[in-house]
Structure 1
Amino acid sequence: MFQFIRHPQDFWSGVMFMFFGLAAVVIGQDYPMGTAGRMGPAYFPVVLGGLLSLIGLATTLRSLWTRGEAIRNFSLRDSSLILLAVFLFGLLVRGAGIAVAVAVLILVSACASEKFNLKASLILSAAAILFCVLVFVKALGLPLPVFGPWLGL
Structure 2
Amino acid sequence: MRKEFIVFQFIRHPKDFWSGVMFMFFGLAAVVIGQDYPMGTAGRMGPAYFPIVLGGLLSLIGLATTLRALWLRGEAIQRFSVRDLALILFAVFLFGLLVRNAGIVAAVAALVMVSAYASDKFHFRASLILSVGAILFCVLVFVKALGLPLPVFGPWLAWLGR
Shift in alpha-carbon separation, 1:78–1:25, aligned structure 2, 3 A: same
SS at match of 2:71: coil
**What is the aligned-residue identity percentage?**
83
Match of 1:69 in 2: 75
Deviations 1:4-40 (A, max 9, x none): 3222112112211221122122112223445678765
Q: Counterpart of 1:59 in structure 2: which amino acid?
A: T
**Counterpart selection for 1:90 from 96, 102, 109:** 96
Q: Distance in 1 between matches of 2:137 and 2:34?
A: 29
Q: Counterpart of 1:134 in structure 2: which amino acid?
A: L
Matched, 1:26 2:32: yes
Matched, 1:142 2:145: no
Matched, 1:114 2:120: yes
Match of 1:53 in 2: 59
Match of 1:7 in 2: 13
Deviations 1:23-81 (A, max 9, x none): 12211222344567876544554444344334433432332333322123322111111
**TM-score normalised according to structure 1 size:** 0.82
Q: Distance in 2 between matches of 1:139 and 1:78?
A: 34
Deviations 1:102-131 (A, max 9, x none): 221111111111111222222222222222
Shift in alpha-carbon separation, 1:50–1:78, aligned structure 2, 3 A: same
**Counterpart selection for 1:16 from 22, 25, 36:** 22
Match of 1:103 in 2: 109
Between 1:28-37 and 1:138-147, the stretch displaced more is: 28-37
Q: Distance in 1 between matches of 2:44 and 2:103?
A: 31
Q: How many residues align?
A: 153
Between 1:30-39 and 1:70-79, the stretch displaced more is: 30-39
Give structure 2 stretches of 5+ with no counterpart. none
Give structure 1 stretches of 5+ with no counterpart. none
